[in-house]
Amino acid sequence: PPTLPTSPIVATSTPESITQRIKYYADLYNVSEITMNIVVKCESNFNPLAVGDNGNSHGLVQINAPSHPNITHAQMRDVDFSLDFLAKHLKMGHKSMWSCLRNN
């Protein structure tokens, strides 16, 4: 697999650096890079510190805390953890976890 670029501090992550890492995880799991970009844009606008669903969902891909009590808020805000989580779940066919993919 391709090598993963060094992970910058979350607060300084740019859409460009996140896009590079989306490519890495899409290639790693053999899932659509386009779909991953759509989810990240739709869910957080490339903001790893995004909070939604009345404070229940966090990070780039808006992992829902009540649905995933085993995942910490720090993990939810971690760019690599989030992208790995997204790619893994897309690979398993769980795209309905993300509201912006439910009708596609």
What pLDDT is attached to residue 13?
79
What pLDDT is attached to residue 98?
83
pTM: 0.85
Collapsing DSSP states into helix, strand and coil, what is residue 49?
A: coil
Low-confidence spans in the chain with pLDDT less than 50: 5-11
Residues with Cβ within 8 Å of 5's Cβ and at least 6 positions away in sequence, in order, are: 17, 20, 21, 24
What pLDDT is attached to residue 72?
94
Q: What is the dihedral of CA 16, 17, 18, 19, to 10 degrees?
A: 50
What pLDDT is attached to residue 7?
47
Residues with Cβ within 8 Å of 86's Cβ and at least 6 positions away in sequence, in order, are: 25, 36, 39, 40, 60, 61, 98
